[in-house]
Structure 1
Amino acid sequence: MPTSQPGAARPSPDRVTPDNLLHTRTGTDVSPEDLVLATGRDLTPRSLEWARRKLAEEGPGTIEKLLP
């Protein structure tokens, strides 16, 4: 039994994010700037240094841990 209302609006197909845009790895290197922005932080010397250390310790896959 459907739970939606008969006249309920459905998301339009053009508002659905394509699968190929949901993946974070594009085959390119992850930069410290990428990592900082993925955390929602501002690009500051301190946050960039944090990102450099994190990438050095954990590698580029660390961004996968931050993004859904």
Structure 2
Amino acid sequence: MTNPSEDRATPDALLHTRTGTEVTPEDLVLAAGRDITPATLEWARRKLAEEGPAAIEKLLP
């Protein structure tokens, strides 16, 4: 048995959220690769208000 390579990509099914999953502003900030700050949380709240939970799908591969 071999150890998984660190170069292997994460399977697509593990990267995408499921329909109906609650997306929090913190989730959106982290998916964008940003630090959680008051400004980024406000950005995420606005983005979720405009685009809904699908906003996170646009940030994931």
- Which structure has the bigger radius of gyration? 1
TM-score normalised by length of structure 2: 0.74
Going from structure 1 to structure 2, the CA distance change for 1:33 and 1:18 (only over 3 Å counts) comes to same
1:66 match? 59
TM-score normalised by length of structure 1: 0.67
Equivalent pairs, count = 57
For 1:33 and 1:67, locate their aligned partners in 2 and report how far apart those are by CA, in whole Å. 15
Secondary structure in 1 matching 2:40: helix
Compare relative contact order (CA 8 Å, sep 6+) and give the higher one, 1 or 2. 2
Secondary structure in 1 matching 2:57: helix
2:47 match? 54
Q: Is there any run of 5+ residues in structure 1 with no aligned partner, and where? A: 1-11
Amino-acid identity (%): 75
Deviations 1:6-59 (A, max 9, x none): xxxxxx585564554232226420000000000000000000000000000111
